A and B are shown apart, each in its own frame.
Chain A
Amino acid sequence: KQEVTQIPAALSVPEGENLVLNCSFTDSAIYNLQWFRQDPGKGLTSLLLIQSSQREQTSGRLNASLDKSSGRSTLYIAASQPGDSATYLCAGTNSGNTPLVFGKGTRLSVIA
């Protein structure tokens, strides 16, 4: 059974800092890994999807990597801004169109 853990649970950084959010999973047979952003009380916004044959994806200031052998994914945010403040969730699937298994998220605060 896939389990996903995110560390740290909360993070506070000054504006402009580069930061890394961590996600670990127990089953290396992970198929896809997706990173989401969630603002308080809102739905999830998909940030990046790393498919099974890929090792990383980039979108603007965001870069996500996936290392199946070590059971880890990282989300790198460059030059953080106050508007990046939100909860970041990672989730994986084990095959095809199977359900996403989520971590509890990392709550990020970027201080101006």
Chain B
Amino acid sequence: DAGVTQSPTHLIKTRGQQVTLRCSPKSGHDTVSWYQQALGQGPQFIFQYYEEEERQRGNFPDRFSGHQFPNYSSELNVNALLLGDSALYLCASSLGSSGAYEQYFGPGTRLTVT
């Protein structure tokens, strides 16, 4: 049973550029959430997708946007990158109808903005 996968593993970008991160949820899961984890901090919620719609959003600017595809995979896009966007980006999947809502995380994408 494949778990949550993310690509790429590492990424280096320059200020002002745009980046796209990708996530495939655990088999059978339909809900994808994205989190940003700065060094030494707990993950912070960015947004959640369910049925191809953004269902909830955390306190992140509009430069952060996303998409969910019919196969439940998801993308996170960040425009006009800032140095402060350097972090580990984590994708989590869950089954929206399960009631338990246990979230499973991927290995993350390490983004470095120079």
Task: Please give the residue numbers on chain A whose beta carbons come within 8 Å of chain B beta carbons, in ascending order.
Answer: 4, 31-32, 34, 36, 41-46, 49, 51, 89, 91, 93, 96-105
Contacts and interface: CB of A to CB of B under 8 A. Distances in A.
A43 B110 contact: no
Nearest to B56: A99
B101 interface: yes
A51 B48 CA distance: 20
Nearest to A101: B45
B72 interface: no
Given A32-B100, A93-B101, A97-B94, A44 B50 contact: no
A32 B108 contact: no
- Which among A44, A51, A102 has the highest number of chain B CB atoms within 10 Å? A44
Nearest to A96: B101
A100 B107 contact: no
Given A41-B88, A97-B94, A4 B42 contact: yes
Given A44-B43, A44-B92, 6 more contacts: A42-B107, A43-B108, A46-B103, A89-B43, A97-B96, A102-B43
Q: Which range holds the interface residue count of chain B?
A: 20 to 34
Interface of B: 4, 6, 31, 33, 35, 40-45, 48, 50, 55-56, 58, 88, 90, 92, 94, 96, 100-108, 110
A4 B102 CA distance: 18
B42 A104 contact: yes
A63 to B, nearest CB: 17
20 contacts: A36-B105, A42-B107, A42-B108, A43-B108, A44-B105, A45-B105, A46-B103, A49-B102, A91-B43, A96-B101, A97-B31, A97-B48, A97-B101, A99-B33, A99-B48, A99-B56, A101-B45, A102-B44, A104-B41, A105-B42
B75 to A, nearest CB: 18
Contacts of B110: 41
A70 B100 CA distance: 23
B100 to A, nearest CB: 6
B47 to A, nearest CB: 9
A43 to B, nearest CB: 4
